[in-house]
Homo-oligomer: A and B are copies of this chain.
Amino acid sequence: MALYVHKYGGTSVGSAERIKAVAERVARFRREGHEVVVVVSAMSGETNRLTSLAQELADKPRPKELDVLLASGEQVTIALLSMAIHELGLDARSFLGSQVRIVTDSQHSKARIEHIEESALRSALAAGQVPVVAGFQGVTEDGEVTTFGRGGSDTTAVALAATLGVEECQIYTDVDGVYTTDPRIVQDARRLETVTFEEMLELASLGSKVLHPRSVEFAGKYNVALRVLSSFEDGPGTLITTEETVMEQPIVSGIAHTRDEAKLTVQGVPDIPGIASKILGPIGRANIEVDMIVQNIGADGLTDFTFTVSRSDFAQALALLEPIREATGAREVVSDDAIAKVSVVGVGMRSHAGVATQMFDALAAENINIQIISTSEIKISVVVAERYLELAVRAIHSAFGLENGPASSLS
């Protein structure tokens, strides 16, 4: 009997009806002869409901108490799913983070897992039970409840999979896999059979929200075979795997995009050593994450310095820049939050030249102006005006023939 971890997100357990469907899927899986540990999120809407309650009571709710509050969401789901599995004639048992003993540090609301005790889960499995584990939550050595922040249930699933050494960690969601790009933008976007951890990381961090980057990173590090599947229909989903296991790598696997950025440019900065840290130092100290950074070569010993931040940090970053402009004697700060970032991702790029040219040609053919370019080993990102987002994604998707199957045929 092979052991699997199943993880069901908020939408998959969003109502009694859906919890029943999950119970049936788990029961079928067991009857096929597999062992399974199930990880669940809070019912969809629940975390928002609880967060709103907290915000009615405090502008900045204490993270410690917010963790106690939010952890109740997964507690509800594990109890309900255990009951539902039991109704189908299987023995199930719920586990809070503290009952498994998923031990974390004490950084409330963004705790990191320190270790996971196997014994309680192993005993349950040995007794023929289906352990149903609350995702997103752990406990400190002192017995305080902690949570893992965004994508926390995925993190729980992958961490359990790594600890237990499972066959596969299956993440059930409301989509049936990872696509070459957003199907809402490109009608003939295609589901990928496999994608590498590195590609998945780029896709996830670039706005393809199937999996949280942290859990992908974790899975890559501990070599956990991760599969994304639909909890609503049957199908093979997408296997996220290491590069070596895939016979032939496509040049480009997918096109990611995000609207969640804003652009800030300090114009006419003296082009002297240390100027980048003078500008970005205060931004970093304010805990604002900077994504792309571009410094143009300027004339007259002056340069333009551009970077992007998350839109939610835009106003704060802009306010921080004014004193910096004065201090550095820069000419002007210009900003734009109506931008979008579009990226092509693929491990095959490493050994193939010409991908960037092909991408830029596709944009030029549509008269789309590129504002910023940034590249890494397995991705090329451009910033364009937000109104061109859909057009840009469609043009690039088509240029690489992604609708026709693996783009490795282009090599």
Contacts and interface: CB of A to CB of B under 8 A. Distances in A.
Most buried by B among A53, A83, A84: A83
A244 interface: no
A72 interface: yes
A49 to B, nearest CB: 10
Interface in A53-85: 53-54, 56-59, 61-62, 64-66, 68-69, 71-73, 75-76, 78-80, 82-84
B53 A80 contact: yes
A83 B98 contact: no
B86 A56 contact: no
A146 to B, nearest CB: 13
Contacts of A143: 98-99
B65 A83 contact: yes
Nearest to A59: B87
Interface in A8-30: 16-17, 19-20, 23
Given A68-B75, A72-B72, A75-B68, A84 B99 contact: no
Most buried by B among A20, A58, A87: A58
A104 interface: no
Contacts of A98: 98, 143
B65 A79 contact: yes
Contact of A75 (B59, B75, B144): B75
Contacts of A23: 57
Contact of A66 (B61, B64, B68, B79): B79
A66 B79 CA distance: 7
B75 A72 contact: yes
Protomer copies: 2
A56 B94 contact: no
Contact of A83 (B61, B84, B94): B61
B20 A57 contact: yes
A62 to B, nearest CB: 6
B58 A84 contact: yes
A-side interface size class: 35 or more
Contacts of A76: 50, 53, 69, 72
A143 B119 CA distance: 14
A86 B68 contact: no
A79 B83 contact: no
Contact of A82 (B19, B65, B96): B65
Given A57-B84, A58-B87, A86-B58, A68 B94 contact: yes
Contacts of A94: 65, 68
B99 A57 contact: no
A96 B84 CA distance: 26
Contacts of A64: 93
10 contacts: A19-B57, A53-B76, A58-B83, A61-B83, A65-B82, A68-B79, A68-B94, A69-B79, A98-B98, A99-B143
Interface of A: 16-17, 19-20, 23, 50, 53-54, 56-59, 61-62, 64-66, 68-69, 71-73, 75-76, 78-80, 82-84, 86-87, 93-94, 96, 98-99, 143-145
